[in-house]
Chain A
C-alpha cells in the first residue's frame, strides 16, 4: 500500500511541476507582462532561454521517468536479493559523453549572444560611437536614479568627447530623476555610475542588467525596438531602501524633442511668456 503511495508520490510531483511551468505563461508567471523582450538582443536571450528550457525539460522528464521506473520496479522486487552489479562501464561512458556533448553545445551556442551583448563592442571601442547613439549618464544612489543627458542636439563623434563630457557637468546638460528617455529603434549608450554603494540597473522588459560599481563608469548599450514604458529596478542590494528604487525607461520616437521639452522645463524662470510655459512648470522643478 505505502509502496504504491510513495511510487506515485515520486511520479506525480514532477508531473505537477511540469504542469505548473506549462501553465505559467497563461497565469502571467512568465516574463513580465508575458511579452517578448523589447530589444533584439533580449529576444535572442529569450530564444536561448526557451532552448535551454527545452533541453532541461527533456532531461527532467527523462531522469524523473527513470527514477520513478526504477523505484517502481525496485520496490516490488520479490526475489530475496537485489541485482548484484557494480555498474556498467559502457553506461558510464554513454552518460558521460552525451551530457558532455549537450552541455558543450549550450556553451558554444550562446557564446555569440554574449559576445554581441558585451564583449564584441567592448573590444572595438576605438571606432567612434554611431551618430544615432543616445548617450546618457545614469547615476544610481540610495535610493533613486539620477540621470544626466548632454544638451539637446549634442553629437559625440569620438569616445574621447564622451569621456570629456562625463568628466564634469556642462552648460545645457539636462537633468532628470528616475525616468530615462531613450531612442526607439536606435542604439542607446548609457554610462552607469554609482554615487554611493553598489546598485544594478535592471530593466526586465529589455533583458538588461548591469551592476553600477562605485568608482567605476560602466557603459551598457541596447536598442529598444518597442515603444512604451519599461520598469527600471535595482537588482543589487543597496541598503534598506533597495526596493524603493523604482524607475522607468521610456522609448520615444523623437527623443530630441523630448529632451528639448525637459530642457525648457529646466530653464523655466517663472515669467516665460504664456504659451511656451511647459505643462506643470509652476509645480515641477527638475532635480
Chain B
C-alpha cells in the first residue's frame, strides 16, 4: 500500500507547525503567493465565483437580445453599444462565445478541480498538503494569464467563432470580426488554462496515490477523492490534444505577426477558399480535423466538469441522509466507466459534420452505453436517500436538485445519442437545454451544495441557512424556467447562435417563450447575488462552527476549522470507509468517523488485503 511513512510524515508535519508557529508568514506569502492548498483553494473559489458573475451577465446579454431583439441592451448596450443603441450581430456572437468560454474554462473546470479538488484532497486523505505545493500555487497563478488574455480578446473585439472555434470561421481573420487577434488571444488563453489544469491534475494524481494517511486504502477513499482522481486522469490524457490543436490553429493563422508571421501552416485550411475577397487560401488542410481534436478533449472535458460534482454530492448526500452511500463500489466503478467511455464518444458531436456516416454508428453505440453508468449512479443516489434521516437544509436541497437535474440532462442526452434524431436537434436549442441541465443544473447545484457544506471547514463559520434556501429556491425555479422550455424551442427547430431568429417565419411565434426564458434567466442571475452576499456576510457574521458541524465521517472533519497550515493536529489514522453513518457499532450518535478506533477489530477490509491497520466490519458492501 503506497502510503507515506506516517512517522516521517508526522515529524515533518510537526516541525512544520512549530516552524510556522514562531514567525508569521508575510501577507504576500500567506494570502497571495501562498503554497497552502487551502488558501489556493479559496483563491480559486473566489476567482471562479467572480467569473461566474461575469459569464452570467454575458449570458443575460444573450438572453436580452433573444427576447427583445435589437432593443437597447442594458449595460452592454451602453458599454459597447454600437450605432443606434442596438448591439451588432457580431457583438452577439461574441457574447455567447465568451459566455461559454468563461463559464467552461474559468468557472466550472477550475471551481471543481481547482477550488474543491485543492481544498478537499489533502484534507480528505489526511495529508498535510499537496504533493507539490509550489506547482499547486503555479496552477492557480497560471489562470491569471488566461484571464488576462481572455480580457485582451475582449479588447480586440472578442472571439466570436463559438467556444468550439470551428475553422475556417476561426482560422481565417477575414471570416469574422472576432477572428482577428481576438481569436489568437483566445487560443493563447485556452492554452494557459490547459497548462493550469495540467499542473493541477499531475498534482492531484501524485497526492492521491502517495500521500494518503495510514489506513486510507483506495476503497476507503471518499467518492469525492475517487472522482477527483479520475478527473485528474481524464485531464492528463485529454488536455494535450486540445493544447496541440490550439497551437496548430495558432500556426494556421497567418496574421500572427512577429516571430510567427512566417509559419502560416494549414492544418485546418483547405486550398482555394476565398473569404470576403481576400486572397484564396493555399494548402490542403481539413477543417474536420479540428473538430476531431477539439472534441477529443472537449467531450472528456464534459466529464471533467461533472465527475467531481458527482463525487461531492455522494459524500454530501450520505452525510445529510445519515446513511451509508448506496453501493459504494458500483459508484466508484461507474465513475471509472464514465471516464473510460468518455474517451470514445467524441464523435457524437459530429454526426452532421460530414465525417464518414458509418462512424456515426459506432459513436452512437458508445454514446448510448455511457448512459448506463450514469443511470447506475442515479439509482444509487436515490438508494442512498432511501430510508435515510433527511434534513432539508441547503446542502440537501442542492444535492437533490443535482440528482433530479442530472436525470433530466441525462435523459435528454438519449435523444442526441440516437443519430437520426440528433440530425434534427443538432445545433438547436435542445442541445443548449441539454448541456445546461448537465453543466449548470447538475454541476453548479452540486457546487452550491459543496460551498454550503465545506464552508465551515474553510472559514470556521456556517453559511446562512435562510439565505441559502432563498438562493436555492430562486436559482432552481429560475433555472428550470430558463432551460426547460429550451427543449421545446429545440424541438420547434430553433437553431443555436441566432442573433435574431424571428426573421425566419417558422420561429416568429417563439418570441414570447424566449421572453419568458429571459425573465427567468434574470431572476436566476440576480439570485446569485444572494449567494455572493451570503458568502461574504457569513465570513464575518456566520455562526461559529466546530470541527465537525455536520457530524460527518470524513477525515477532514477532525481537523480544526479552519485547518491550520499542515491541517491536522497529528497524522490521522484511518480505520474504515467514510460512510459509516447510523452504524450500529456506536450508541447515541449516528456517525462514526473514519479515524475513530473501535475495539474489537473486525474482519479485514475486503477492499485490499494488504492493509495492516485494523478496520471495521462492512466498511464496504461486499
Contact = CB atoms under 8 A, between A and B. Distances in A.
A197 to B, nearest CB: 4
Nearest to A81: B582
B372 interface: yes
A215 B273 contact: yes
B360 A215 contact: no
A247 B195 CA distance: 44
Contact of A82 (B389, B424, B509): B389
Given A70-B386, A197-B275, A60 B408 contact: yes
A118 B498 contact: no
Contacts of A167: none
**Number of chain B interface residues as a range:** 35 or more
A229 B327 CA distance: 55
A235 B420 CA distance: 16
B287 A213 contact: yes
Contacts of A110: 364, 418-421
Given A87-B326, A204-B424, A211 B352 contact: yes
Contacts of A107: 364-365, 368-369, 417-418
A130 B428 CA distance: 33
B285 to A, nearest CB: 8
Contacts of A21: 487-488
B354 A240 contact: no
A233 to B, nearest CB: 6
Contacts of A285: none
B382 interface: yes
B176 interface: yes
A67 interface: yes
Contacts of B274: 195-196
Contacts of B89: 240-244
B436 interface: no
Given A63-B378, A74-B386, A200-B427, A10 B506 contact: no
Contacts of B360: 114, 118-119
A81 B590 contact: yes
A20 B488 contact: yes
Nearest to A239: B176
Interface stretch (B36-44, B164-172, B244-252): B164-172
Contacts of A74: 321, 385-390
A28 B494 CA distance: 13
Nearest to A42: B424
A77 B389 contact: yes
Contacts of B424: 42, 45, 49, 204, 207, 209
Contacts of B621: 86-87, 89
B86 interface: no
A66 B421 CA distance: 29
Contact of B420 (A45, A238, A246): A45
A172 interface: no
B275 A96 contact: no
Contact of B371 (A60, A87, A99, A211): A99
Interface stretch (A29-37, A150-158, A179-187, A252-260): A29-37
B371 A142 contact: no
Contacts of A122: 357-358
A246 B503 contact: yes
A65 to B, nearest CB: 10
B419 A114 contact: yes
A173 to B, nearest CB: 20
Given A30-B488, A63-B407, A243-B500, 20 more contacts: A52-B421, A63-B379, A70-B387, A73-B387, A77-B390, A92-B327, A96-B376, A99-B375, A103-B371, A104-B368, A106-B418, A117-B419, A209-B426, A211-B352, A215-B284, A216-B288, A236-B427, A237-B169, A237-B496, A239-B175
In the A-B complex, the 3 residue pairs with the closest CB atoms: A215-B270, A83-B387, A204-B493
15 contacts: A48-B418, A56-B414, A60-B411, A63-B378, A82-B388, A84-B323, A85-B326, A86-B325, A88-B327, A104-B368, A119-B360, A119-B361, A195-B274, A196-B172, A246-B503
